[in-house]
Structures are given as C-alpha cells and as structure tokens.
Amino acid sequence: MGFAPRTEALLTRAAAICESRGVRLTDLRRQVLGLILDASQPTGAYDLLDRLRATREGAAPPTVYRALDFLLENRLIHKLERLSAFVGCIAHDDHDHAAQFLICQRCGKVTELEDHELAHALEDAAHRLGFTVGKATIEAEGQCAACSSGVAA
C-alpha cells in the first residue's frame, strides 16, 4: 500500500521515534498509522478496518485496536473522544504536549492547536482545587473560518 509522499516522510519519522523509544513500528502499525495520516479527516476504527481489509484479508477488530493502542501509547496519534476517531501526531517525539482540537460541526474539519497558555490555565485552575492534571485533551466544537464566512473548506 503506497501513501502520499508527505505521509511516507511522517512514517519514516514515526519509525525513528519508535526506535529511539526502544519499540518497533511493525508493518501493521505502520499501515494503520499511514491510513490515519493519509485521511483528510479523523478516522474511526471500523473505517480503518475496512480500509485495512483491502490489503490484509484476515484483519479483524482486535488487529486494529491493538495497533491503535500502540500508536496512542507512543503518542503518534490522538483520539478525539467526541468523534470516536483518530488523528495523527508525529510532531512531538519526546513528551506529552498540550493538545486542543477545534471541530467544525458543519464541514467536519478538525484543527489541532498547541496553546500552552490554555494548558497552563487549565493546570492552574485545577491546582487551585487541589487537583493535578496528568493528561488533558480539549475538544471544542463550532464553525471553522471557511464555514463561518460561507466559503467551502
């Protein structure tokens, strides 16, 4: 299965990240990650399974879920809980990062932010209540600029 050149470059980077962490980006994991990265919108597990079956006849839900678990654990993808779908995230190789997502209710476009001030505001508010934030993903729904202005995204 061939991917777009941009996706291939990201997969090469993901393999290097995995190697630096002492884990392996197997062919199956690479293929699932490639399908996520190549997708124009967040992708659900069963959509991934359908697309995977085009090249892997015996692919079953556990096959995809194990690959997704690995990719999540190694911070190569994010799960958008609201959409029950996944997006790639290869930019950060050493740490968890602040992740916020803007989800357009009209066209479905998802934009990832990395606003450290927003992350710090959440941590500060939680700290005032004696709560320590371990991990936070913020998902905000609304309309993207293109949909707000009436221009197709």
String of b and e for 90-122 (b: at least 16 CB within 10 Å)?
Answer: beeeeeeebbbbbbbeeeebbebeeeeeebeee
pLDDT band with cut points at 50, 70 and 90 for residue 115: confident
Q: Does domain 5-88 have CATH number 1.10.10.10?
A: yes
String of b and e for 127-140 (b: at least 16 CB within 10 Å)?
Answer: eeeeeeeeeeeeee
Residue 1: what pLDDT? 63
What pTM was estimated for this model as a whole? 0.83
**Nearest alpha-carbon partner for 90 in 3, 11, 6:** 11
Residue 2: what pLDDT? 84
CA distances (Å), origin 5, targets 9, 33, 34, 123 = 6, 14, 11, 38
Residue-wise pLDDT tens digits, 45-69? 999 999 999 999 889 999 999 999 9
Q: What is the DSSP letter of 110?
A: E
Fold of 99-149: Dna Ligase; domain 1 (3.30.1490)
How is the chain split into domains, by residue range?
A: 5-88, 99-149
